[in-house]
Amino acid sequence: MEINEAISRAKKNDQKAFNYLLDLYWDHVYGFQLKRIHNENDAEDVTIQTFSRAFDRIETFDENYTFKTWLITISKNIHIDLLRKEKNSIKHVMSKDDKTVLQILDESPSAEDKLITEQHLAKLLRDIKKLKPHYQKVINLRYFQELSYKEISEELDEPINNVKVKLLRAKKLLTEVIRDK
């Protein structure tokens, strides 16, 4: 399969084309992020978000550009957004008698927040049960058992890239289930 064919098939929601593009460009995007972030887990998370966003919006891809450049641009923007969120979580820095004091926002949940979270979790679990069993399993292993991609790959006896794509697909389908309510 060539790249242009894979892109046009992906625009028609062809899972094999998504897998092909993911396998072909994973190392490029991951390497780009690893150089920026210097943390393997964070680089992997940003790379996954990149492919998720790209695959969700693949119909907007303009063939006048290279697909790799488009992915790198998406990846860079996701990283910038994460840095902005991180920066905004610190209220302000103030200096007093040569001592720097960081005043950090208290983001610990209140009792009401905890109750709302539990209600949302119950709804989320009901929505997850509407997915096919193999999607339920990959979501459970990643987000509830907090296994790494490597551990999930070993558990399911599948290549890591398949696990990543399956997880991306599961999240997309779950989003559609939630949106349809």
In tens digits, what is the pLDDT along the chain, a chain of 181 residues? 799 999 999 999 898 999 999 999 999 999 999 999 999 989 998 999 999 999 989 999 988 889 999 999 999 999 999 888 877 765 444 444 445 555 556 667 777 777 777 788 888 889 999 999 989 999 999 988 989 999 999 999 988 888 888 888 888 888 888 888 6
How would you label 21-52 residue by residue, b for 16+ Cβ within 10 Å and e otherwise? bbeebbeebbebbbebbeeeeebbebbbbbbb
Model's pTM, two decimal places? Answer: 0.54
Q: Classify residue 93 as left (phi > 0), alpha (psi -120 to 50) or beta.
A: beta
Residues 4/58, Cβ–Cβ less than 8 Å: no
Q: What pLDDT does residue 172 have?
A: 85
Distance CA 79, CA 61 (A): 20
Alpha-helical runs (H) found in the chain = 3-11, 15-37, 40-56, 67-88, 111-128, 133-139, 149-156, 160-179
Closest CA relative to residue 66, chosen from 33, 29, 16, 34: 29
Dist CA 91 CA 26 (whole Å)? 36
